[in-house]
Amino acid sequence: MEKEIAIYIDGIYYPKSNAKISVYDHGLLYGDGVFEGIRAYEGIVFKLREHIERLYLSAHAIMLKIPLSKEEMLKAVIETLRKNKLTNAYIRLVVTRGVGDLGLDPRKCPKASVIIIADSINLHSSSAKEKGISTMISWVRRNTVDSTTHEIKSLNYLNSILAKIEATATGVDEAISLDKIGCVVEGVGENLFIVKDGKLFTPPSSSGALSGITAKVATRIARSRGLEVFETRITPFQLFTADEAFFTGTAMEMVPIREVNSRQIADGKPGPITKKLMAAFQKVIVDPNEGVPIYS
């Protein structure tokens, strides 16, 4: 029988079948918490310090005190991978407000809870990177920056889930969210880029988009190759008429977009700039200087 993965919950490892939290945990009751998705490639945890930094920024924004220091959190992630003998994995790092009562008041939760899961993830078919994916613009608008903004990577992802449900019902691979004035923000869990006249454009975090770690790497790679990258509002028209378009994200990595609302992007195939950036990204993710080694 295959051994169950060991899941970290507040300093103790539990087999997957017995990894449980209280029904009074405010992460479950109210979506009150924060999380990060992280990748390990060939024994390197890609951008681990950056992910942990973003986790603590999200926690600060919702006044959630994490019971571990950043260095302790880093060591806990590494130890979870070692415990499961994993060198390639998707890591889900979750911090909930912790156990409280049935009221909203977070003061009733004396201590936050930390959960670390190291497993695998597969969002789309194996051909997605070669052929691109189909998308549609959702009716579900992104939450504004003065509400439950996606700048905070919180456990409240209903905004994205509703858009994903719509995409599935429509028969496309992924949804794209707009802001309150109708400009493009991001996918349900990915940042978005378009290419026009040899230049890259991506919506700013001020639109309500998450400040993506993979997006930053893609931007750095593009600029190192002499490409100009601009953070600016993107209209649906600009998306429909782009020369190329692609998503970036930890779970998805980099995936071309071939279609939006039944409108083909250019010739409907991954474009030359997208393909070059994807190839360069695959080299970066296994660079020891880009992450933290599991075994050193």
Residues annotated as catalytic (active site), given as ranges: 153
For every residue of the chain, which 3-state class applies, written as one string? CCCCCEEEECCEEEEHHHCCCCCCEHHHHHCCEEEEEEEEECCEEECHHHHHHHHHHHHHHCCCCCCCCHHHHHHHHHHHHHHCCCCCEEEEEEEECCECCCCCCHHHCCCCEEEEEEECCCCCCCCHHHHCEEEEECCCCCCCCCCCCCCCCECCCHHHHHHHHHHHHHCCCEEEEECCCCCEEEECCCEEEEEECCEEEECCHHHCCCCCHHHHHHHHHHHHCCCCEEECCECHHHHHCCCEEEEEECCCEEEEEEEECCEECCCCCCCHHHHHHHHHHHHHCCCHHHEEECCC
